[in-house]
Structure 1
Amino acid sequence: MITKIPEATAPAPAPAHRAPEPPRPAGRRRAWDEAPRWQIYLPLSVYLVFTLVPFYWILLFALRPPGSTSLVPWPMTFEHFEKVWTERAFGTYFQNSVLVGVATLVTTTLVALAGGYALARFDFRLKRGFMLALLCSQFVPGALLLVPLFQIFAELRMINSLGSVVIAETVFQLPLSMILISGFIRNVPYSLEEAAWVDGCNRFSAFRVVVLPLLRPGLVAVGSFAFVHSWNHFLFALMFLSDQDRQTIPVGLNTLMSSDSVDLGALAAGGIIAAVPVVIVFAFIQKWLITGFSAGAVKG
């Protein structure tokens, strides 16, 4: 006996020739592509003007002759650069800034690497409290450290020494550098170190062979910020260095301004001398810097 399936239980036929609905993201992309070009380029042009006009103004004062009011640096002169480099001892300031920046970069990176590894790989009591203290220390302005650091350096007879500025810069930048390095180390799988231990490496050898090469972008990011901050910092150099042959570029720029007059041409030339090394450094490390930010933002 054959039983007939009721019509109510039979599946309904699919509608014929039904066009699929276009996805919404594609519609948004088409609307963006169809937008007038001026809505894109006008805000970018305004931003570009506000960004480049100050740089052009500095170049104008640095390259045009003294007493000129032209808006075009022509005839071009390098008299202001010769003046600040020879008469204003900017060659000495530049050398001192390079020494302080490189020394701060090395000390900050090495100490932050050791401390960051300890924070990332070891568990100890009050670890969270220690991390919280490192974070809270970033809310303390550098001006509050001037008096206690000055007293310490005076007892150690380190006043008017570039070493005092290097130590102060390292202490000021170390908390944030340790936190950043510890984040980079956490992104490196712990199983890689364990595999190196099985192969016969000790902890230091495993860190040097396995972990350290993977931290190169993070080290470049931390070291570049340490260098730039120490290069541009004014307070520590002004407080701890008194002799002219020990001062750095920010203090040297301050000497170009007096209470009754300001040499705008020399000040602009000194600002360009101070900015060029930083621009060159970031131009060479841009790829490593972006990679370092990406590695620190992704959890491994």
Structure 2
Amino acid sequence: MSAVSENPLVPMQRRRPLQPVDVVQRTIGYVLLVLLVLFCLVPFAWVLLSAVDQNAGATVQWPTWSFDNFTRFFAAPGTPMLVINSLVVAIGSTVLNLALGVAGGYALSRFDFRGRRFFMFSILLIRVVPAPATIVALYLIMVNLQLTNTLHGLILVQAVGGLPVTLWLMKGTVDAIPLELEEAAWVDGSTRLQAIRRVVLPLIGPGLGAAAMLQFMGSWGDFLTPLVMLQSQELYPLAIGLFRAFSERDHVDWGLLAASAIVYVLPPAILYIFVRKHLLRSSLGGALKG
């Protein structure tokens, strides 16, 4: 006999035979899990199949394979401009948001001033207020600044709207960088701005990527703000274009609508694939070793 079995202090572990109640519970769990998966996958399956179906309908069906829906999407007058407007607004607001967020996050992390804690929680409180509750006041402000019905006005609103989350994210990221690294750069003769560019910016990649992803997706998927701020159809983003295509016609072109949804999903998906590898990578360990 083995040493384990001879030792009376080590109990023998035996599997308890499955009881009928266990089998029923496990079966119910698997059935519920399958139903949940189907509930989540069927809408995506409809979009994918309808986008390549010439005779797409409101139900899931095997398609007659064709890319005519995508051809009609890009050939339709005004449709490419919807995509361009969405890209301009999303990229512009993301760049502005990151620039302000990095500067503000560094200041909140490295400078100790009176009221800093109150200020941080105050700006986070902005995200608690629902957007429809402030959209009228925001619209009146933009009217007084003469920034309504402009893409740069929409970029400013969306960039500032996502700034609280970016500030908190960047502050936490800068907090994780030891101040000794900057002090070493100061000793070498670098100014504070030079130390930020040479030391801090290369180390905040994961936080910067997460902030960029959140801001881009929030701006790309925003519907209420451009609906209120823009009046000219040539300035509309793709989100409003999809809504108008679905609501303003007696007959819905399901194939064209599905192809538009695929195009609408692609930019955030591509950005996620590009940023994903940077989100889990930290350069701080390599910097400390060096």
Task: Report TM bin, short chain.
Answer: 0.7 to 0.9
Matched AA of 1:286? R
Partner of 1:191: 180
Deviation at 1:116, TM superposition (A): 0.4
Q: How does 1:125-204 map to 2 (within 5 A)?
A: 125-204=114-193
Deviation at 1:46, TM superposition (A): 5.2
Query: Residues of 2 paired with 1:83 and 1:174: CA distance?
Result: 38
Q: How does 1:64-79 map to 2 (within 5 A)?
A: 64-66=53-55, 71-74=61-64, 76-79=65-68
Question: Which structure 2 residue ranges, 5 or more long, are not aligned?
Answer: 1-5, 17-22, 286-290
- Residue-by-residue CA offset, 1:239-264 (whole Å, 9 max, x unaligned): 11121211101011011123644332
Deviation at 1:79, TM superposition (A): 2.6
Question: Which structure 1 residue ranges, 5 or more long, are not aligned?
Answer: 1-16, 296-300
Query: Residues of 2 paired with 1:70 and 1:97: CA distance?
Result: 29
Q: For the structure 1 residues 215 and 275, does the alpha-carbon distance in structure 2 shift closer, same or farther, using more than 3 Å as the test?
A: same
Calculate the TM-score normalised by the size of structure 2. Answer: 0.82
Partner of 2:223: 234
Partner of 1:243: 232
Structure 1 or 2, whichever has the larger Rg, is 1
- Residue-by-residue CA offset, 1:150-207 (whole Å, 9 max, x unaligned): 2222222222110111011011100111011000000001111111111111111111
* Segment drifting more, 266-275 vs 182-191: 266-275
Query: Residues of 1 paired with 2:233 and 2:55: CA distance?
Result: 26
Matched AA of 1:237? P
Partner of 2:263: 273
- SS of equivalent to 1:53: helix
Deviation at 1:47, TM superposition (A): 5.0
* Segment drifting more, 244-253 vs 45-54: 45-54
- Cα contact 1:59–1:268 (8 A) shared by 2: yes
Query: Residues of 1 paired with 2:121 and 2:242: CA distance?
Result: 37
Matched AA of 1:95? I
Partner of 2:201: 212
Matched AA of 2:104? G
Q: For the structure 1 residues 291 and 65, does the alpha-carbon distance in structure 2 shift closer, same or farther, using more than 3 Å as the test?
A: same
- Residue-by-residue CA offset, 1:114-170 (whole Å, 9 max, x unaligned): 100111111111111101102211101122332222222222222211011101101
- SS of equivalent to 2:246: coil
Query: Residues of 1 paired with 2:196 and 2:31: CA distance?
Result: 51
* Segment drifting more, 180-189 vs 251-260: 251-260
> Share of identical aligned residues, percent?
36
Find out whether 1:222 has 2:196 as its counterpart. Answer: no
Matched AA of 2:181? L
Query: Residues of 2 paired with 1:291 and 1:216: CA distance?
Result: 8
Q: For the structure 1 residues 41 and 283, does the alpha-carbon distance in structure 2 shift closer, same or farther, using more than 3 Å as the test?
A: farther
Q: For the structure 1 residues 290 and 43, does the alpha-carbon distance in structure 2 shift closer, same or farther, using more than 3 Å as the test?
A: farther
Query: Residues of 2 paired with 1:222 and 1:278: CA distance?
Result: 13
Query: Residues of 1 paired with 2:256 and 2:93: CA distance?
Result: 28
Query: Residues of 1 paired with 2:77 and 2:259: CA distance?
Result: 11
Deviation at 1:19, TM superposition (A): 6.7
Matched AA of 1:72? W
Q: CA RMSD in A?
A: 2.7
Query: Residues of 2 paired with 1:88 and 1:263: CA distance?
Result: 16
